[in-house]
Amino acid sequence: MAVDTSKYPAVQGKNLILFARKLSEAKTKRGMPVPYQTSIDFEPQRDKKTDATKDGYVSKSSPLQTDLKLEFVNNWSEIADKLQMSLFNGDKMEFWIVNYQRRNSEGKAFAYYMRGTVSEDETDGDPDDVSNRKTTISVEGDPVPGWTALSEEDEQMLAYVFYGVGEVGETAKNDGTDGGGTPWKAGDAGTGTPYDPSATPNDSTLKNQ
């Protein structure tokens, strides 16, 4: 049976964008996209171990572990500097892998939310090329899927629990709805609408959701 590509479009790598924010600044700052991204590696994995017993083999799973790596052209944006400071100072960060292409009925984008610290930040400086950064993040706990509102500014830049990328405000609810987020539900599996810029609610509408 042929796949309905209009209903389930293939995910384009260019539409997966990493946003980040220093956790301690969640009350006042929005999550920021890291400029000039070239690659994201998102690798959740769960190892299985098999023990031999007198009654046969017993299989058990280890806790979920997630590897997150980002490559981008080196720059001195605020968020690029804060990623490096996370390595130097141990600052805990928030991260969103946003699928800019996949939207729900409210126009929010599908994303994975996670927290962690930068464990490695490699910079190259070849004389005949731009400098590149390879950043490795140690993720704490499990990534959480959900839907996040994007501001008009976010939309413009990208066109060139679960937390949304918006600022949390004075009181965090910690229930997956802070910052314009909508928690993932079992019924969300397989759903989504390809992004249509002309049909996306404006910034003021998103801020009220």
Residue 182's domain is classified under what CATH number?
2.30.110
Q: What domain range is 102 assigned to?
A: 13-44+60-207
Q: Contact 150/206 with Cβ under 8 angstroms?
A: yes
Q: Could you give the number of structural domains in the chain?
A: 1
Element (H, E) at 82: helix 78-89
Contact yes or no for 50/62 (Cβ under 8 A) = no
Q: What is the per-residue pLDDT for 12? A: 84
pLDDT per residue over 17-29, tens digit each?
Answer: 999 999 999 999 9
**Cα distance between residue 131 and residue 75, in whole Å:** 8
**In angstroms, rounded to a whole number, what is the distance separating the alpha carbons of residues 79 and 87?**
13
Residue 151 lies in a domain: yes
Instruction: Classify residue 132: in a domain, yes or no.
Output: yes
Higher-confidence residue: 208 or 155?
Answer: 155
In a domain, 96, yes or no: yes
In a domain, 52, yes or no: no
CA–CA separation, 93 and 140 (whole Å):
10
Is 4 within a domain? no
Contact assessment for residue 193 and residue 155, using Cβ atoms and an 8 Å cutoff: no
| 22-78 per-position pLDDT tens digit | 999 999 999 999 989 999 999 888 777 777 777 667 677 677 788 899 999 999 899
* 167 domain residue, yes or no: yes
202 assigned to some structural domain:
yes
Residue with more model confidence, 91 or 4: 91
